[in-house]
């Protein structure tokens, strides 16, 4: 029992610390690309703490308060059901009790909680942001699920542990054995991290900070915290499924950082797509590749 509690706290703490350091790196990286000096690596931690220490927080009714709590609970459970390390007793959380299908369900708790909370605030900009968010979600969920399904079909299991165990060395990483699934998966993954070509939801100059327009003070602090933890959980999930998992914490940091760097590089290079362009893109390129991948995986004997 004590093992579970310490393990869960360690996972949450590690996700939070990795989250703010990764986002701090992202801001510096962005700044250097724009020939600026950029803020400190800890800037996201400072911002988050400042919001948590605000003395005033406006609340528009009970649902407005419970929405961020639902989102936060979704992020915490996602973190706890993703195994962080391979062949280890530590940083496992409750991942032995869950599988990939449960994680798929947990990933959409956030957007739904967001919609509930923003709807009760009555702010038209917030509602506009949520509409864009759910439209984009419709576009990205289909290829995302198809990418996960490809991996599940390839290994004939839904257990993240079994998929990790099957990838023994670099040649057996799913990145090498099933590159189509990786491409199908990585694009919606970037969108779910609000990275730049697909960041129309929170576009500040267009919809006033998107769904978060009415959140302030401690509620915004909670939302920032869950966003950082969720990002790390998703990065670890992709590293587990395609990069063979990690046996040590250093390998975990290296692999998740490589994935984060890929996202950061794409998002500094490409301008923002409109909502319908995003959905068009997802339903053409990743989904088309996904269909080809399904045909290759299911029917052709050599795959």
Partner 1 sequence: MYHHEHCEGFQCEQQQLEASLAQSGSELGALDRLMAWFRQRSLFVLAYGTGCGAIEMRPLMTSRFDAERFGIIGAATPRQADVLVISGYLAIKTLKRVIRSYEQMQAPKYVIGLGSCTINGGMYWDSYNTIKQLDHYIPVDMYVNGCMPRPEALIEGFVALQQRIAAGTPSGFERYRANIDWYKANQRRVLGDNMPPDYTYDWYHAGGVA
Give contact residues for partner 1 (rule: CB under 8 A). Answer: 27, 31, 34-40, 43, 46-47, 49-50, 53-58, 125, 204-205, 208-209, 212-217, 220
Kindly give, in sequence order, each residue whose CB lies less than 8 Å from that of residue 203, ignoring residues fewer than 6 positions away.
Answer: 210, 272
Nearer to partner 1, 212 or 234 (CB): 212
* Residue closer to partner 1 (CB basis): 38 or 119: 38
The burial of 211, by beta-carbon neighbours within 10 Å (0-12 exposed, 13-18 middle, 19 or more buried), is given as buried
Whether 96 contacts 4, CB under 8 Å: no
Nearer to partner 1 by Cβ, of 95 and 196: the residue is: 196
Nearest distance in Å: CB 227, partner 1: 14
Q: Is the dihedral of CA 20, 118, 80, 103 positive or negative?
A: negative
In the complex, what is the shortest distance from the CB of residue 223 to partner 1, in angstroms, rounded to a whole number? Answer: 11
CB of 204 to partner 1, least distance (A): 4
- Which residue lies nearer to partner 1 by CB, 45 or 282? 45
Q: Pull the structure tokens for residue 127.
A: 């509602």
Question: Which token pair is 52?
Answer: 């948590």
Name the residue with tokens 């701090």.
24
- Residue closer to partner 1 (CB basis): 135 or 216: 216
Q: Quote the least distance from Cβ 216 to partner 1, whole Å.
A: 4
> Minimum Å distance from CB 50 to partner 1?
4
CA dihedral 212, 65, 134, 74 (to 10 degrees): 110
């Amino acid at each position: 029992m004590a093992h579970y509690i310490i393990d869960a706290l360690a996972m949450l703490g590690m996700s939070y610390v990795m989250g703010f350091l990764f986002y701090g790196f992202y801001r510096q990286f962005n700044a250097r690309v724009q020939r600026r000096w950029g803020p400190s690596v800890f800037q996201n931690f400072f911002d988050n703490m400042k919001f948590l220490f605000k003395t005033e927080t406006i609340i528009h009714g009970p649902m407005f308060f419970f929405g961020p709590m639902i989102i936060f609970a979704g992020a915490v459970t996602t973190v706890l059901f993703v195994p962080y390390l391979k062949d280890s007793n530590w940083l496992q959380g409750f991942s032995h009790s869950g599988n990939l299908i449960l994680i798929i369900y947990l990933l959409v708790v956030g957007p739904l909680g967001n919609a509930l909370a923003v709807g009760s605030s009555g702010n038209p900009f917030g509602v506009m942001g949520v509409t864009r968010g759910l439209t984009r979600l419709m576009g990205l969920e289909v290829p995302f699920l198809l990418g996960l399904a490809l991996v599940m079909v390839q290994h004939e299991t839904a257990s993240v542990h079994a998929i990790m165990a099957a990838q023994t060395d670099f040649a057996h990483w799913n990145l090498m054995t099933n590159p189509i699934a990786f491409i199908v998966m990585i694009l919606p993954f970037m969108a779910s991290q609000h990275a730049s070509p697909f960041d129309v939801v929170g576009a500040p100059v267009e919809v006033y900070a998107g769904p978060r327009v009415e959140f302030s003070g401690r509620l915004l602090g909670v939302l920032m915290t869950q966003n950082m933890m969720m990002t790390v959980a998703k990065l670890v999930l992709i590293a587990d499924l395609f990069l063979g998992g990690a046996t040590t914490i250093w390998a975990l940091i290296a692999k998740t950082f490589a994935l984060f760097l890929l996202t950061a590089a794409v998002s500094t290079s490409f301008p923002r797509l409109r909502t319908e362009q995003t959905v068009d893109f997802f339903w053409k390129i990743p989904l088309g590749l996904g269909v080809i991948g399904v045909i290759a995986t299911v029917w052709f004997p050599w795959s």
